[in-house]
Amino acid sequence: DQQVKQNSPSLSVQEGRISILNCDYTNSMFDYFLWYKKYPAEGPTFLISISSIKDKNEDGRFTVFLNKSAKHLSLHIVPSQPGDSAVYFCAASAGNYGQNFVFGPGTRLSVLP
Amino acid sequence: KAGVTQTPRYLIKTRGQQVTLSCSPISGHRSVSWYQQTPGQGLQFLFEYFSETQRNKGNFPGRFSGRQFSNSRSEMNVSTLELGDSALYLCASSLDTFRGMTEAFFGQGTRLTVV
């Protein structure tokens, strides 16, 4: 049973527009969420995180929104740039003891020039 | 500041053999986790080590084991290799604090191919 879901395997967006990547989770014990970006042949790179005590966290062009009641989070990238083209993983963890993340399957974002 | 270093980058082994992968975390990071990435299963958590002790463990068979040394460097061992063990093995280190979760920084991974 997938505890973290990213239902869109791929997404294409025009350069300069907003990219919205979605993530749903089933485990209500998850209280820390992260987004990672991955290029081919490289390890995932941390983008942004959010704790369950917040509903929004912003870092430059990246904003993560958390809706706890819907068990849903989203990553907004504004404006999208061609260099943002990569696979984006949503990850979640329960509790504050130990670094044990459950990853979603990823969404491949293509930003078209 | 140097990132997470994994060696070797690529490895080819034969079924039945064993393999040891190495991970050097970011200086000052005491938590090291291992993940397996395959096209069909995505990123799956193997185990986490903190202060030389295994703190968390995923749902992998006992053929997968690891250890952490006093300098926080970690090794992962897979015995009796199977074809299905072919994957990208990723190591991640974290600055574990009393305030709870922090982000994990990943290495580039070791691509293991079992033939």
pLDDT at B100: 56
Residue B113 has pLDDT above 90, yes or no: yes
**Rounded CA gap, B8 and A107, in Å?**
28
Q: How confident is the model at residue A44 (pLDDT cuts 50, 70, 90)?
A: very high
B42 touches chain A (CB under 8 A): yes
Over residues A30-34, mean pLDDT = 90
pLDDT band at A112 (very low <50, low <70, confident <90, very high): very high
DSSP secondary structure, A60-91, as one string? TTEEEEEETTTTEEEEEESS--GGG-EEEEEE
* A42: confidence class by pLDDT, cuts 50, 70, 90: confident
**pLDDT greater than 80 at residue B104:** yes
Q: What is the DSSP letter of B85?
A: G
For residue B2, the model assigns a pLDDT of 76
- Length, in residues, of chain A: 113
CA B100 – CA B115 distance, rounded (Å): 41
The minimal CB distance from A96 to the residues B50, B101, B106 is found for B101
Question: Is residue B68 within 8 angstroms of chain A, CB to CB?
Answer: no
Across the range A101-108, mean pLDDT stands at: 92
The pLDDT of B53-69, averaged and rounded, is 94
Interface of A with B in 11-30 (CB under 8 A): none
Give how far B115 is from chain A: nearest CA, Å. 21
Name which of B42, B100, B107 is nearest A105 (Cβ-Cβ).
B42
Of A32, A43, A102, the CB nearest to B90: A43
Say whether A32 and B101 touch across the interface (CB within 8 A).
yes
Res. B41 pLDDT band, cuts 50 70 90? confident
The answer to whether B93 touches B6, Cβ cutoff 8 Å, is no
Mean pLDDT computed over every residue of chain A: 92
The model's confidence at residue B27, banded by pLDDT at 50, 70 and 90, is very high
Instruction: Give the 3-state secondary structure of residue A23.
Output: strand
Section B56-61 average pLDDT:
91
Asked if omega into B39 is within 30° of 0 (cis), the reply is no
pLDDT of residue B101: 62
Angstroms from A40 CA to nearest CA on chain B: 10
Q: Which of B48, B107, B108 sits opposite A98 (nearest CB)?
A: B48
Contacts of B36 (CB under 8 A, 6+ apart): B43, B44, B46, B60, B87, B88, B89, B90
> What single-letter amino acid sits at A110?
S
- Interval B54-76 mean pLDDT: 94
